[in-house]
Structure 1
Amino acid sequence: MLAQRTNLFGSSGTAAARAAAKAAADAGKEIIDLTAGEIWSDLAPTIREGAIEAINRGVNRYTDTVGMMELREALARKVSLDTGQIWKAEEIAVTSGAKQALFNAAMVLLNPGDEVIIPAPYWTTFPAQVLIAGGTPVFVDTRSNGYVPRFEDIKAAVTDRTRAIVINTPNNPTGAVYDVQTLIGIAELAINRNFWIVFDECYGDFVHGDHRHHLIVSVVRARTLIVNAFSKSLALTGWRIGYLAGPKEVINAVKALQSHTTSNPNVIAQHAVLAHLQGGDGTYESKLRSQLASARQVGLNALSSLTRVPVPKAQGGFYFYLDLSDLLKPASMNGAAVTADEVVNSLLSEAGVAAVSGTVFGDPAGLRLSYGIPPEKLEAGLSRLVDVLNAWE
C-alpha cells in the first residue's frame, strides 16, 4: 500500500498534457505541441564550451551540497546586480532546477497546518508541494483583475496560520506581470503579519511591451526567498540547474535538507552555467528575447481572428493564456458544466493541436499555449486552433 501523502497530489498537469501530445504523435497523428514550458533554441556557446571543457578535464566528483563555491559566488554577484543589494555566496543554494528550490523552501519553512497563499490560476506544482510539506494552500482568485491579485483579496486571505505567499511574476500560466504597487502592498503585509514571500521569477527575463519586472526583495529582503533557474533564461530545461537566494539561516537549513535528497546538482551543468556567468556577454539572452518577441507577435496576429475569445495580453513569459468563459457558457446536453478539458480534447482530435487545460491551474475556463516553438509551427497551430474555437458550439 502507498503512503497517504500520495493521495494529496497527482502527476503534473503540464507533464500529462505533454504526454498526451506525445502519445498522439506516436500513434501517427501530426501534432503541433503548444504544451511545453520551454524554448526551442540551440545552446549558448558558453554553455556548450563550459560543459565540454569540464568533461575534457575529467570532472566527475561531488561538489558542495548546494553547489560549487565559485558558482555560488557568481550567482551572488548576479543577484546583487539584479537587485541592487549585496548578496553573499552563503545566501545562495544551487538546486536541481527551480522545482527543487521551491520544494526545499516548502520543507524548511512549513509546519503541518501552516497556510500558504497562492494566487490562482497557479502553476500546478505550487499547491502540490505545499501539500507534500503538510501545509494548506489558500487560493486567491485573480481572474477578474487581469490575473493580478487585488491587495484587498490577499489581505483578506491572511490568517493567524499564514506562513507564506507564493508570488510568480511574470506568471505561469497567465503571462501577467505584477505591478510595483501590488508588490509593495504584499511586501508591507508580509512585514506586518510576519509571513514569508516565496518569489518565483523564473520568467523574469521575458517581459514584453512597456511592462517591467519588479523585484519584491528590494522592499522586504529579510522575509523573501528568491527562486530562479536557467531553464527559461538560457533555454536549459533539461539541464536542471536553478537556485534559491535568501537569509543565511534558511540556506543552511536547505543545505541540510538537500544533503539527504539529491545532494549536489549535476556537476557538468554547474560548470557550464559558471562558464556562462563568467564569459557570457548577454548576446545569447538578447537573441532569445528577440526570438520570443517575434513569436509573440506572430501568435497575437493569429489569435486576433478569434471571434468569441478575447485576445490575450501576454505581458511576460512565453505563454498565451486564453479565457474561454464566454465560449463555455452553454451547458452540455446532459447538464454537466463544460470546461476547458473538452476544448483541449477537441483541439487534439480535430486539429492536431496540443494545449494545456486551465483546470490543472485551478481555472476550468483557461487554456495555456506556449509560443516557445518555431514560428512556422506556431502560426500553423494557432490557425488550426482559431478555426476550432470560432466554430465551437
Structure 2
Amino acid sequence: MLAHRTSLFKSSGTAAARAAAKAAADAGKEIIDLTAGEIWADLAPTIRDGAIKAIERGVNRYTDTVGLAELREAIAIKVASETGQSWSLEEIAVTAGAKQALFNTALVLFDPGDEVIIPAPYWTTFPAQVLVAGGMPIHIETRQNGYLPRIEDIRNAITSRTRAIVVNTPGNPTGVVYDEATLIGIAGLAIEHDLWVIFDECYGPFTYDGRAHHPIVSLVPEVRSKTVIINAFSKSLALTGWRIGYLAAPKEVISAVKALQSHSTSNPNVIAQYAVLHHLQTGDGSYEAELKSRLIASREAGLEILGDLKSVPFATAMGGFYFYLDLHEVLAAATNGGSPRTADDVVTALLSSAGVAAVSGSAFGDPFGMRLSYGADRDKLELGLRELVVTLNKGI
C-alpha cells in the first residue's frame, strides 16, 4: 500500500499535456505543441560561458546547502534592485527551480489543517504542495473579475485556520497582472490577520501594453516580514531544464529551508549555479530584452489570429506567455442538451483533428478554460493557432 498522501494529488496536469503531445508525435502524427511553460530560445551566451568556465575549472563539489554565497549575494542585489529595499544573502535560498522553493516554503510554514487561499484558476502545483504539507487549499473564483481576485472574496475566505495567501503575478495560466490596488489590499489583509503572502513572480519580466509588475513588498514594506518571494531563472532566461530558482524571505524562514533542503536535495546543481552567477555578474540585459521582444511579437501575432474566434472572448494576455481561452460558449454549443462537455473534450479534439496540443483548464481547477503557450516557435505557433481557430469555429 502507498502512503495516504499519494491519494491527495495527481501528476501535474501540464506535464500530462506535454506527455500526450509527445505520445501523439511518437505515433507519427504531426503535432504543434503549445503546452509547455517554456520559451523556445537559444542559450544566453553568458550562461553558456559561465557553465563552460566552471567545467574547465573542474568544479564538481558540494556548495552550501542553499547555494553559493556569491550567487546568493548576487541574487540579493537583484532582489534589492527590483524591490527598492536592501536584502542580504541570509535572506536568500537557492533551490532546484521555483517548484522546490514552493515545496520548501509549504513544508516550513504549514501545519496539518492550515488553510491556504489560492485564487482560481491556479498553477497546478500550488494546491498540490499545500496538500503534501498537510494543509487545505481554499480556492476563490476570479473569472467574473477578469481573473483578478476581489479583495472582498479573499476576506470572506479567511478563517481562524487561514495561514497564507498565494499571489501569482503575472499569473499562470491566465496571464493576469495584479494591479497596485489589489496588491495593497492583499497586503493589508495579511497584516490584519497575521497571514503569510507567498508571492510567486516567476513571470515578472513579461508584462505588456503598458502594464507593470509590482513587488508586493515595494508597495507595502510592512508586509515584508510575512512575505516569501518565489522566483526562478527558468522563464526570464529560458532555462527551464537547468533548475535554478530561489526564495527571498525573513532569515528564520531561510534557516528552516536550509535545514529542510539539507535532508532532501542538498545544494542545487553546481554548474548551473556558476552559470547563473556569471550571467548576473556580466550580463548587460540584452538577452532578456531580445527574449521579451520575441514574446511581444508572438503575442501580437497570436492575438490577431485568435481575434477570428467566433465564440471565445478576446484573450487579453496581460503578462507571462500564455493565451488563456474561456470556452464557456463553445462547450455550451457542443453540449446542446446532451452530456456535459468540458475543456478536456476540446483539448482531445484539437489534438486528434487539428494536431494542436494545448493544456485543459481542468489542470488549473477550471473545466471551461484552455491554456496555449506562445513561448513556442513563432512559425509553429501561428500555424497551430490558425488550425485551432478553424476547428473551434466549426464546433467541437
TM-score, structure 1 as length reference: 0.99
Give the aligned partner of residue 170 of structure 2. Answer: 170
Q: Does 1:42 align with 2:42?
A: yes
Shift of 1:202: 0.2
Cα drift, residue 327 of structure 1: 1.1
Q: Which residue of 1 aligns with 2:53?
A: 53
Report the AA paired with residue 364 of structure 2: F
Alignment correspondent of 1:354: 357
Instruction: Name the CA distance, whole Å, in 2 between partners of 1:196 and 1:56.
Output: 43
Deviations 1:145-192, CA, capped at 9 Å, x for gaps: 000000100000011100001100000000000010000000011001
Distance in 2 separating the partners of 1:21 and 1:217: 40
Give 1:369's aligned residue: 372
> Distance between the aligned counterparts of 2:151 and 2:213, measured in 1?
18
What's 1:186 paired with? 186
Q: How many residues align?
A: 393
Opposite residue 250 of structure 1, the aligned amino acid is: V
1:386 aligns with 2:389: yes
Give runs of aligned pairs for residues 187-226 of structure 1, distance below 5 A: 187-218=187-218, 219=220, 220-226=223-229
Equivalents in 2 of 1:370, 1:283: separation in Å?
23
Identify the residue that residue 79 of structure 1 maps to in structure 2.
79
Shift of 1:334: 7.9
Contact 2:120–2:141 (8 Å) recurs in 1: yes
Q: List per-residue Cα deviations over 1:177-211 (Å, max 9, x = no partner).
A: 00100000000110010010000000000001111
Runs of at least 5 residues in structure 1 that lack an aligned partner in the other structure? none
Contact 1:176 1:316 in 2 (8 A): yes
Asked whether 1:316 is paired with 2:325, we answer no
CA contact (8 A) 1:358 1:367 kept: yes
Instruction: Report the residue type matching 2:92 in the other structure.
Output: I
Q: How does 1:134-173 map onto structure 2 within 5 Å?
A: 134-173=134-173
Letter in 2 for 1:29: K
User: Is contact 1:198-1:225 (8 Å) kept?
Assistant: yes
- The runs of at least 4 aligned residues of structure 1 exceeding 4 Å deviation read none
Question: What is aligned with 1:104?
Answer: 104
Q: For the residues of structure 2 that align with 1:177 and 1:334, how far apart are their CA atoms?
A: 37
Give the partner amino acid of 2:207.
V
Query: Following the alignment from structure 2 to structure 1, what is the Cα–Cα distance between the partners of residues 337 and 323?
Result: 31
**Distance of 1:124 and 1:97 partners within structure 2:** 15
Cα deviation, residue 328, structure 1:
1.1
2:248 is matched with 245
State whether residues 330 and 338 of structure 1, in contact with CA within 8 Å, keep that contact through their aligned partners in structure 2: no
| Equivalent position amino acid for 1:17 in 2 | A
Following the alignment from structure 1 to structure 2, what is the Cα–Cα distance between the partners of residues 374 and 354? 14
Whether the aligned pair in 2 keeps the contact of 1:34 and 1:370 (CA below 8 Å) is yes
Tell me by how many angstroms 1:330 deviates: 4.1
Q: CA deviation at 1:317?
A: 0.2
Q: CA deviation at 1:332?
A: 3.5
**DSSP 3-state at the match of 1:327:** helix
Q: Deviations over 1:200-229 (max 9, x none)?
A: 000000001111101101211111000000
State the alpha-carbon separation in 2 of the partners of residues 140 and 26 from structure 1: 39
Tell me, yes or no, if structure 1 residue 295 matches structure 2 residue 295: no
Q: Please, which runs of 5 or more residues in structure 2 have no aligned partner?
A: none
1:88 corresponds to which residue? Answer: 88
Q: Matches of 1:117 and 1:252 in 2, distance apart?
A: 25
- Are positions 1:121 and 2:121 aligned together? yes
User: Quick one: which of 328, 344, 347 aligns to 1:344?
Assistant: 347
Contact 2:334 2:395 in 1 (8 A): no
Whole-angstrom CA distance in 2 between matches of 1:359 and 1:330: 19
Q: How far did residue 375 of structure 1 move?
A: 1.1
Alpha-carbon distance, 1:336 to partner = 2.8
Cα distance in 2 for partners of 1:334, 1:297 equals: 37
Does the CA contact (< 8 Å) of 2:120 and 2:366 recur in 1? yes
Q: Which residue of 2 aligns with 1:15?
A: 15
Q: Partners of 2:58 and 2:334 in 1: how far apart?
A: 62
* Contact preservation (8 Å) 1:167, 1:198: yes
Per the TM alignment, residue 311 of structure 1 is displaced from its structure 2 partner at its CA by 1.8
Structure 2 partner of 1:68:
68
Letter in 2 for 1:370: S
In structure 2, C-alpha distance between the alignment counterparts of 1:333 and 1:34, rounded to whole Å: 28
